[in-house]
Structure 1
Amino acid sequence: MAALFTLVLTVVLPQSAQAWSFTGIVKVKQAATYCVGDQAGIDHLTPGLFSGNLAYGDAYAFEADCVTPKVMQARSRLDVRFWSEAQNAWITCRSTGWTYGTTGHDMWGPTGPASLLSYGGPVCGVGWYATRAYAEVWVPNILIVGGGFWSGGSTTSAYEWVETSG
């Protein structure tokens, strides 16, 4: 089964000519008063192209319509994932801690805390890599001073074949 999966990835999902894959803003949580957006990206070093072994994740907050940017406290983190033939599964290769900040918008669109990791190329082996990015916003509880909870979700970038560490 693992060999079939690898064959499908190799034939159906060829290596990107840009050396990177990035999702658009993905809705990962919608509630009555807010919406959480997330982005995930993976880049790999490709000689001759502007590239690097980088993983990206961004967190955004919106009004409940999931369109209008909203100012909230938020956090972002990411995992670099690697397809393990031996385990026939995606495994976490490297991770970041949480990056905290405030969401909002500027002339280019929504803004929020971002995570960035230079993951070092094929540190878990030559093969398929992806980024799983996590985005959460702080939802205050007005009945308890300082009370509240984190709410959000995650999204995963497309896969990239990584074989060069630079």
Structure 2
Amino acid sequence: MTTIVDSNLPVARPSWDHSRLESRIVHLGCGAFHRAHQALYTHHLLESTDSDWGICEVNLMPGNDRVLIENLKKQQLLYTVAEKGAESTELKIIGSMKEALHPEIDGCEGILNAMARPQTAIVSLTVTEKGYCADAASGQLDLNNPLIKHDLE
């Protein structure tokens, strides 16, 4: 399988040495919103300064969240963002991630250790509509959601 790392696509690539990054931010919830905002802004900081602030991404849910972490690792933690304008679309390869963790792969202890490291300055999180566990029809908490049931037991 060809990944971003192997491709010859005409896409802007990170201009810095990725090995200089330190995981100074541990972010819980490596969804599309985070990748297109906080991780993108961190990428811009890395482009314009000699900062070493990298992100340790953490996804906690099973299934697709684990697959995302596995796929990011296959791509050396690089991914693409498309910025659409009125006249054109600009593609960028984002390189602000230093690590990607999942409890089924790295264990809860590995995630807690990442948060407790001396170089970790920020622990942030994103909760979007999927994390609200709301019933689509009523807008109320979905008491039939397996995750909610588990928490209430």
- TM-score interval w.r.t. the shorter chain? under 0.3
Greater per-residue helix proportion: 2
TM-score by length of 1: 0.24
TM-score by length of 2: 0.26
Greater per-residue strand proportion: 1
